[in-house]
Amino acid sequence: MIRIVHVISDLDTGGAEVMLAKLVGAMDRARFSNTVISLTDGGQLGGQIESLGVAVHTLGMKRGRPDILALPRLIRLFKTLNPTIVQSWLYHADLLSTVAVKFSSSPILVWNVRCSDMDLKRYPPLTRWVQRVLAQWSATPAAVIVNSEAGRQQHERLGYRPRRWDVIPNGFDTERFRPDTSLRLPLRQEWKVPQDAVIVALVARVDPMKDHAAFLEAAQRVANARKSVCFLLVGKDTQTLLPAIAAKDLSNRVRVLGYRSDVECLLPGVDVVCLSSAFGEGFPNVLGEAMACGIPCVSTDVGDASSIIGDTGLVVPVRDPAALAHALIDLIDRGPAARQHLGRAARTRIETKYSLARIVDRYTALYSDLSSNYVSAC
């Protein structure tokens, strides 16, 4: 039995956290035992992970506030859990796990890097310091996983020189995320949107990375050019955008749903999914989820978005609302039959390249390889 302890900064519904939850839920329990440690609290996903039979521990750190007492708590947990592999996710968890492993004799450490070209000037100075330290320590873990080729290249530019890179993209449950035409009419009735209107959705928490300002600027341009179009905002803190929506005279065109844990039940009511991010993305989960639901995407050229979408949607430059609006209008004007054709091709692309089973196999193969190499070395 390979015992894996996953350490992550928090368990809110970001891309890394969602992928972690999917991974531990899908791994073979006859071969792997998983435990999750959150540096902060249980967040929105802790209960879901526990419902899968995976133990979750929390260290109680406050977000954005260093806590020196968290390190000895983490060391004690490592000694108690006696993991074969410590798998850390995201910068702060990478840092603390690296130090804790030194004091607990845990044999194998793996980092998991999820972003690409982060604009860290928009985030606390501590994060920039952590990134610099990790670049210096990057030969310490047995492997560094990245979920995008863009992420690998960016971290090499930052000075990362690991012993082993493994590019493992995000994976998607194509049974959970799938087309469902029966939901289209009820959802539109719930959202008070005409049945023949085109709905463009942005599924993203409010964060500088996601560039909601560019999306709203593009939405205003689209709304002025095409009358039968509505917009849907889903994600944590999207309610805070209501004043900006009103300022652009879009209140009648935009529906704001806030945080939702049932995105798979919302996407079948949508015609186009948009990603407006300005920086930082590696492999955006929302693209894979939308494509699995048979929905064409318009994305800015962040991370690996272009290679994920392929010829099933459109990709535009970052921070260019005019280009984003032009691409959205393009897909709107192509009509429902053309969008459905692109959507079918998008789903096939996810099934072929990014199914959850395929990606879980990549993780388990890596863990098995690292574990067997360690045993051989001993």
- The tens digit of pLDDT for each residue in 313-370 reads 999 999 999 999 999 999 999 999 999 999 999 999 999 999 999 999 999 999 999 9
Low-confidence residues in the chain, pLDDT < 70: 64-66, 374-378
Of 351, 345, 303, 306, nearest to 327 (Cα)? 306
End-to-end CA distance of the chain: 17
The confidence score (pLDDT) of residue 63 equals: 73
Strands 314-316 and 297-300: parallel
All structural domains of the chain, each given as residue ranges with its CATH number in brackets, are: 2-171+356-377 (3.40.50.2000), 181-353 (3.40.50.2000)
H or E segment at 136?
A: helix 125-137
Q: CA-based diameter of the chain, in Å?
A: 69
CA-based nearest residue to 42, from 13, 66, 15: 13
Interacting residues of 4 by C-beta distance below 8 A, sequence separation 6+: 32, 33, 34, 35, 83, 84, 85, 86, 87, 367
pLDDT number for residue 62: 80
Given this model, what pLDDT does residue 116 score?
86
Q: What does the block give as tokens for 156?
A: 């090499």
3-class DSSP assignment, residue 270 = coil
Distances (CA, A) of 78 to 24, 63, 96, 187, 373: 18, 22, 12, 46, 21
Quick one: pLDDT at residue 59? 94
**The tokens of 209 are what?**
């990375």
What is the model's pLDDT at position 374?
Answer: 64
Quote the Cα angle for 211-212-216, to 5°: 130
The pLDDT value recorded for residue 66 is 64
Angstrom distance (rounded) from CA 100 to CA 272: 45
Distance, CA of 118 to CA of 279 (rounded, Å)? 6
pLDDT at site 64 = 64
Residues pairing with 146 in the sheet: 113, 167
Backbone angles phi, psi at 333, to 5 degrees: -70, -20
pLDDT at 375: 58
CB 35 within 8 A of CB 57: yes
Strand partners, 232: 201, 255
Please choose, from the candidates 149, 92, 91, the residue with its C-alpha nearest in 3D space to the C-alpha of residue 302.
149
Residue 41's CB is within 10 A of a number of other CB atoms, namely 17
Q: Dig out the tokens for 33 from the structure.
A: 């035992």
Q: Do 218 and 328 form a contact (C-beta atoms < 8 A)?
A: yes
Q: Token pair for residue 262?
A: 């049932």
- Which residues are CB-neighbours of 361 under 8 A, at least 6 positions away? none
User: Please, which residues have CB within 8 angstroms of residue 193's CB and are 6 or more apart in sequence?
Assistant: 199, 230, 255
Cβ atoms within 10 Å, residue 358 = 14
Global pTM value: 0.90
